Amino acid sequence: MITVRHLSATYGGFTLHDVNLDVHEGGCLAILGPSGAGKTLLLETVMGARRPRRGEVLLDGRNITDLPPEARRIAYIPQDLALFPHLSVRDNIVFGLPSRSARRAATDALKRLAAMLRIEHILDRRHVGTLSGGERQRVALARAMIVQPRVLFLDEPFSSLDAATASDLLWSFREMHQQMRTTVFLVTHDLHEAGLLANDVAIMIDGRIVESGPRDTVFRHPRSVTVARFLNIRNIIPLSDLPPSARHFATGSGNGCTHLAIRAEEVVLAPVSAQHDVGLRARLEELIPCGANVIARLTVHGTWPLEAVLDHARATEIERCVAGEVAVSILPHGALYLHDSQDERSNAPGRQPAGTSVPR
């Protein structure tokens, strides 16, 4: 288990402020945040590449803040992977084994890892420069895992790959992590990556951890506007700006919440019919196909912009309503109440009652 206590660091004019984190044995913590939030500085400070100004890092209860990198028993995969260009694939993988004899005798471990990562066919390549992006990534993972590190630090390791290769590799890594149960400290800006790999997430904005906890809790119940925006929740509106007919939404808030957020995926649209004579109506401005989904842009009461994400079948159903009215309802748990300030925290996020739609 890795524990970070009151960690502060400064580098190149950027400051990390009083970071506190726990990564449980065998778990995966994802530090999520936009570019420039300080994620890499945090990772480098925790793993000891940079000296903190204050605070400490404990590994299994032992203070490792001042230990040199080689004494920490951790492994690190940077964004550029840093495969050794002068070594063969095999020599890259066994690099971290302690002695020449151990490197020669590592055949079983090497074979097992190679099979797990599906790289048996490239083990005998003499130059890592000839590998594809995905193969390089797998070799870097094998090199890190063969030393059985106490913690594996990953700095956006899948960011340079195309979507299909990254997805394939994410699943391989997930499988490997579940088998080997290595503690992982992952830095990423990719919600999908964090969702697949992490048990816990911490959201970092401007050098501060603004929200952290189990992945499902943070993803499903963000507590602040900043975090909700980072999680790509599109429909965020100050409670004070709600149209008069939607004011009752504010009644679900509490504890000083200032904003209402509605996930675009949890907005349901239907053509207006006799059965929908009550409820919220909106003008359907346009339907924009985006890959597997369609984004619907709506305006409620002429002023309140709303976005909905639909599947293609639903989009076809309401296509004829473009430039006209549609009935809008919000799925259970689709509405969230948020705090404006990053410092102000709600212990229990407000919830929208299930299946509620708003009368006109």
Partner 1 sequence: MSRRLFGLCLVGGLGGAFSLVLVMLAAQVGYAGVREPLTALIQPDIRHAIRLSLFCATVAAGLAMVFAVPAAYALARYRFPGRMLVDALLDVPIIISPIAIGITLLLMFRSAPGSWVQEHLVRFVFEVPGIILAQFIIALALEIRVLKATFEEISPRLEQVARYLGCGPWAAMWRVTLPLARPGLIAAMVLGWGRAIGDYGATVTIAGSVKGKTDTIPVSIVLNWSAVRIEAAVALVMVLTAIALLVLLSVRTLARGRPA
Q: Site for partner 1 (CB under 8 A): how many residues?
A: 24
If binding is defined by CB under 8 A, does position 95 make contact with partner 1? yes
Q: How far is the CB of 36 from partner 1 (least distance, A)?
A: 20
| 3-state helix/strand/coil string of 18-58 | EEEEEECCCCEEEEECCCCCCHHHHHHHHCCCCCCCEEEEE
Q: How far is the CB of 158 from partner 1 (least distance, A)?
A: 17
If binding is defined by CB under 8 A, does position 80 make contact with partner 1? yes
- Which CB sits closer to partner 1, 69 or 254? 69
If binding is defined by CB under 8 A, does position 197 make contact with partner 1? no
The end-to-end CA distance of the chain, in Å, is: 53
In a 10 Å sphere around its CB, with 0-12 CB exposed, 13-18 middle and 19+ buried, how is residue 255 labelled? middle
If binding is defined by CB under 8 A, does position 70 make contact with partner 1? yes
Candidate list 6, 20, 36, 69; residue touching partner 1; CB under 8 A: 69
If binding is defined by CB under 8 A, does position 139 make contact with partner 1? no
- Which CB sits closer to partner 1, 68 or 359? 68
If binding is defined by CB under 8 A, does position 100 make contact with partner 1? no
How is residue 76 written in tokens?
Answer: 């690190």
Q: Which helix (H) or strand (E) holds 212?
A: strand 208-214
The distance of Cα 7 from the centroid of its chain, to the nearest Å, equals 22
Q: How far apart are CA 34 and CA 70, in angstroms?
A: 30
Mark residues 245-284: x for contact with partner 1 by CB under 8 A, - for none: ----------------------------------------
Candidate list 47, 237, 284, 308; residue touching partner 1; CB under 8 A: 47
If binding is defined by CB under 8 A, does position 13 make contact with partner 1? no
Q: How far is the CB of 20 from partner 1 (least distance, A)?
A: 24
SS3 of the chain: helix, strand, coil, percent, to 5: 30, 30, 35
If binding is defined by CB under 8 A, does position 96 make contact with partner 1? yes
If binding is defined by CB under 8 A, does position 78 make contact with partner 1? yes
- Which CB sits closer to partner 1, 36 or 69? 69
How is residue 108 written in tokens?
Answer: 């079983």
How is residue 263 written in tokens?
Answer: 């996930």
- Which CB sits closer to partner 1, 153 or 230? 153
If binding is defined by CB under 8 A, does position 85 make contact with partner 1? yes
Kindly report the number of other CB atoms within 10 A of residue 265's CB atom: 15
Beta strands 259-262 and 335-338 are antiparallel
Residue 34: CB partners within 8 Å, gap ≥ 6? Answer: 189, 205, 230
Question: Which is nearest to 9 in space by CA: 37, 59, 45?
Answer: 45
Site for partner 1, rule CB under 8 A: 47, 49, 68-70, 72, 74-78, 80, 82, 84-86, 95-96, 98, 129, 143-144, 147, 153
